Amino acid sequence: MDCKIDIIPRVLHFKQPAGTSRGTYTTRKVWYLHFTAPEFPNWVGIGECAPLPNLSCDDLPDYEEVLAKICRQVENQGGKLDMEALCKYPSILFGLETAIRHFFEGSWALWDTPFSRGEAGIPINGLIWMGDFNRMLAQIEKKMEAGFRCIKLKIGAINFEEELALLQHIRSHYSFKEIELRVDANGAFSPTDAMEKLKRLSELDLHSIEQPIRAGQWEEMARLTSESPLPIALDEELIGYNTWEEKQRLLSAIRPQYIIIKPSLHGGLAGGEEWIAEAEKLNIGWGGSKGVLAILIPGMFGGAGTVFFLRSYFDSAISNEILEAAKIDGSNDFKIFLVMILPLAKPAIIAQFLFGFVGGYNNYAAALMYLYRDKSMWSLQLALSELVKIGSQSEGGYVNMQCAASIMALLPLVALYVGVQKYFIEGITIGGGKE
């Protein structure tokens, strides 16, 4: 296909200074791509190439010349993209991907989704740029008044105590159920004091922190992700790792709780899909996904044993004569089930509830598989296992704590059994056989 790509440079001006720990942005230079083809004169595809200064791996001194050269190559290839060659230029790849897709879709709805169809919105966070205390406080209050239910603060530029005060200000007015709080350090913490800061931040019921220490310190970051009480998301850490093998090596080494995917920084749309695929293999969240559904959903469909047990109970405890008498009296099936069968089946239902509760309560393997990387979602069994591990590595002092924790873990089961033992025993004995 004959095609032409026009490059249109622009300088965008921020409405307010955008402060980060790396500096303050007031302008952003971008290059818009217009993709056209003579055989489709009324079609146009628009993409944006916007590398971040001193951050993007393709922030090059001769960026505009490289962009022009790549666009000419794409024209010569009839609009086809060489992904392997372009993966080291993520901002350029992203601009070309979106421009070409926009051209062929003929719409800004690049994918058929509930959002593109106007059926659902996309929840976004209210971003608070770094500044002095009063300016950041004003931003926070404005976002909360606007109805945002997720606030993300850039931290690391002002005094840490003042940043804590800002977060405490939000928490004094809104609980974690009302406002989700996230912070982004942009690598501002040092490895020596990062853990102490993470512990203090975790006391404020935060969702997660992005990039607490500078990128490239894999060993230190891996230590933080394994020990931090606050889930950690990688952002800048992902920049420059453009092949599948590099992505596998990074995620396997660090194993964060989350990754933040920005197509123009992390390999375009194609590169983002690779990050997602690799993250899902390791149960790493992306875009704030939670792994708890992997435990809940199988449990909803694993009731074959329950069916056989209840059938045995119904055969033993509920006679056909009772049901027939109810029908003679004029009761329909729904009324019979609600008024007669459910009350009579109470012992069996309670017994099955107790079996299911104990099974889920003691489910260590599934929790280990799906929830281990996110300590905020740990089950009691995972926490006890970690406590035992810590105690085994010490010379003493943890034995009493382990015993106390084990007893506390047993108490809910004992209390539940004491409360329902009458029905439990009745359900087991009646369902055990048929006269």
371 exposure class (CB count in 10 Å sphere: 0-12, 13-18, 19+)? buried
Q: For the chain, how are helix, strand and coil distributed in percent, rounded to 5? A: 50, 15, 35
The verdict on whether 422 is a catalytic residue reads no
Name the pairing type of β-strands 258-259 and 232-234.
Answer: parallel
The verdict on whether 154 is a catalytic residue reads yes
**Helix spans in 128-192 (H):** 133-145, 160-173
- Indicate left, alpha or beta for 111 from its phi (over 0: left) and psi (-120 to 50: alpha): beta
Q: For the chain, how many helices (H) and strands (E)?
A: 18, 10
From 88, 143, 197, 262, active-site residue: 262
Q: Which of 6, 10, 3 is nearest to 81 (CA)?
A: 3
Rounded CA gap, 274 and 244, in Å?
A: 7
From 15, 88, 143, 154, active-site residue: 154
Q: Are 129 and 103 contacting, i.e. CB atoms less than 8 angstroms apart?
A: no
DSSP string, 257-326: SEE---TTTTTHHHHHHHHHHHHHHTT-EETT--STHHHHHHHHT--HHHHHHHHHHHHHHS-HHHHHHH
Scan for tokens 């500096």, then name that residue. 23
Token pair of 187, please?
Answer: 């690598």
Residues tagged active-site: 154, 262
